[in-house]
Structure 1
Amino acid sequence: MLLLSAVSYSQATESTLEKDLQASFQAFEAAFNQHDAKAIAKLWQEDAVHRQTSLAGNLKGRAAILAAYEALFQSDPEAKLAITLNSIREVAPGVASVKCSTQVLHSDKSVSFSRLSALLAKDGNQWVISEVEEADVPAGASVSPGALHQLDWLVGTWVDGNEKSTVSNHVYWISGGNFLARTYHMNTPQGFSQSGMQIIGWDREHNVLRCWQFDGDGSFGEGTLEQTGPATWRCPMVVKLVDGRRASFSQVIERVSSNELKLSLVNMEVDGQALPGTGPDKLTRRGN
């Protein structure tokens, strides 16, 4: 259930590539939030291409991309962007592939989400975007601060025991009622043990349910929780591993009944390398 903890990772530090690309995307985010379309355009190659699956046409060339951002800022004058880098991979000298998750808080206080794959090339000392393919993430049911209390049913102790492992989860309200906490513990017959905590709370700035995760091995992560069906919730997470590498996955929770749920981990990657998912694992309620 937990994560990538059963996989052995070698020790490593953040590479210059990762730091440089993080700086480039931070500059993009800052330019967007200042509504500086010209500064954004400078971060794209002259012949760059932007493809968005929800649109019939593509944006081709820096001039078209500049015009699109100018139109966006005119129509949405208070739009704010947050970017999360999910994975970074060098595909050739001076060429890198990046996968990101984005969320935009619009002037009307609604929030839109997307995931994108970007190809960047180094131009002198600067990384510039050459290609982007972006896909909208459908918003779940509309959320509000009260959405956190829609997860009341999670409060209690949930267990799963099989021949491979024993997993226990304890979910409870933190004093004040503004955060849910989940502590978890896993044991395997081979003697492997893993513990950690998740905290879920309402992000008033971006109008989303945000999830923070802390594992006993020193890794930590963050994601946003959205309801994707009448009884299904999905939480895409980005995790910084203890060896400095970056991992991502989506945690999917399905409420089967008041005393049973299913949990899956899907879309698992470490530094851009896909890993098999897990589940769905069935958990049953032991008590409140």
Structure 2
Amino acid sequence: MKFIISLAFFVATFAITSTGQLYAQDAEAPRDTDEQMVRKSIEAFTRAFESGNAEAAAQLLTSGAELIAEDGAVVRSREAIQNAIARHNVEHPNVKIEKLSDAIRFPSRDTAVVDGRIRVVHPDSGTANRRFEIQCAREDGKWLLAKIEEWPHERAALLDLEWIIGTWKSKQGSAEVETTYEWFGDQAFIRAHFTIRENEQSVTGMQMIGVDPETGLLRTWIFEANGGVGEGVALQDGKQWVFESTTELTSGDVLEATNILVRIDGNSFTWQPLDLSINGEQFGNLPPSKVTRVR
């Protein structure tokens, strides 16, 4: 079970006057104090969760708080959530939460709703991107978390590759490869431009990585400058990625391969082609090569 925390910003709403009349707040007049208090409560909950301090986290919840995990499991009450956090910390220590985006709205004077997306970093199982919604309530002058709900982001797999944006170089034998990854469109695709140089010859091309709207799988499309085309799928398996591809070369030959990407850190990863074959004839595996960030 993963817990989702985020920060917030103001969205104009309505408030009740001291005479009980309803009036619209000025959209340009944010509720700065409320926003700051909501932000402090969520930040404190985040710090408590990451440090495994279940008791401190529980103090920032309403007594009837509710947590809905990505698998649909529901945990109700402050005490039950405290116990769940304690168990989670034992099973998955050192989990970190990184904010990607968020927004806040105030449906009433004493309620706030925060939604957005975050990245959960697990030392043992890699990263995962999630969407969330947190409902907060003001009780006795304090903003407390009343409901926390999370679910997988519809483009989570692509966002899990966000770290690869940039320019990279590698060398294997006499071949040198330079690849630049960049966002394309509204972060709907990652586009890669690659150049392979060997023995004074070079091959250039482009690769697109994106989510197939029909299947939800992460797909890849390859376009070589000399006319070769290919496609495949990418699957995350723990800390490694598996890229399976089939490319039809301009010669008419069909190249198939399974490539394994293993991230080392933010500035390096390894890339290993396995099960290489041309027209069905197996050529085996190549050793892994280290790929290093240039910028």
> Which gives a bigger RCO, structure 1 or 2 (Cα 8 Å, sep 6+)?
1
Q: Please indicate the TM-score interval, normalised by the length of the shorter structure.
A: 0.3 to 0.5
Larger Rg: 2
When normalised by structure 1's length, the TM-score is 0.48
